[in-house]
Chains A and B, each alone.
Chain A
Amino acid sequence: EVQLLESGGGLVQPGGSVRLSCAASGFTFSTYPMSWVRQAPGKGLEWVSHITGSGSNTYYADSVKGRFTISRDNSKNTLYLQMISLRADDTAVYYCAKAAKAGFWSEADYWGLGTLVIVSS
């Protein structure tokens, strides 16, 4: 059974940093691209970042480029999102999601439960 479990969220001050983790199980982690998608309170889904299975290719939304870094440790079956220079509008539930197909990107067939990041003083 595929499971994705995010952690690392919490309250962080504006300008601060946090690292989110997503522990994956139930599939061959290194085969599949992974994404981070966020949802601000009461708002829609926003794709944030994506990484290929090997980790060699990464992609970012313009809203986070230069501030967020996606990475993965295939030996630990874990996906990461390092977030710096956080702003109030980064407040959201952050989901990790597994691509349905190997390759560069595709639809996401499994999602974690999400972790809430609140940026506030």
Chain B
Amino acid sequence: DIQMTQSPSSLSASVGDRVTITCRASQSISRYLNWYQQKPGKAPKLLINGASSLQSGVPSRFSGSGSGTDFTLTISSLQPEDSASYYCQQSHSMPLTFGGGTKVEIK
């Protein structure tokens, strides 16, 4: 199975800050990497698929990059509504494993 390791597990940043979350796969997954946002008590929401393709309606301050084993999710200017947990997921092969998540808090 492919293990997905996210870091950090949590972070606190100010409005306007640039935030970066990393995700590392235990083996190469090409660009089969997806990012989800989950707010408390809500279902996850797909933000980015294919490592860097932004879903329709997702603000352009979100971006994704990487290939192979190392990936990043960047929020260019953190907004209050971005307070949430973020999960990476590989869709290269079964089982479709998730990273452990990163909780983003606003200072």
Is A113 a contact of B43 with CB atoms below 8 Å? yes
Is A47 a contact of B43 with CB atoms below 8 Å? no
Of the 9-residue stretches A8-16, A22-30, A67-75, A104-112, which lies at the interface with chain B? Answer: A104-112
For the complex formed, measure the closest distance between the CB of B63 and the CB atoms of chain A, giving whole angstroms: 16
For the complex formed, measure the closest distance between the CB of B6 and the CB atoms of chain A, giving whole angstroms: 9
CB of A80 within 8 Å of the partner chain? no
Q: Which residues of A contact B (CB under 8 A)?
A: 35, 37, 44-47, 50, 59-62, 95, 97, 100, 105-109, 111-114
The answer, among B43, B50, B94, for a CB contact under 8 Å with A111, is: B43
Q: Which residues of B contact A60 (CB under 8 A)?
A: 95
Q: Which residues of B contact A112 (CB under 8 A)?
A: 43
Given contacts A45-B87, A95-B43, A114-B43, contact A105 B98 (CB under 8 A): no
The answer, among A46, A100, A105, A113, for a CB contact under 8 Å with B46, is: A100
Interface mask (B16-52 → A, CB under 8 Å = 1, otherwise 0): 0000000000000000001010100001111001100
Q: Which residues of A contact B45 (CB under 8 A)?
A: 111
For the complex formed, measure the closest distance between the CB of A48 and the CB atoms of chain B, giving whole angstroms: 9
In the assembly, what is the distance between CA of A112 and CA of B46, in Å? Answer: 13
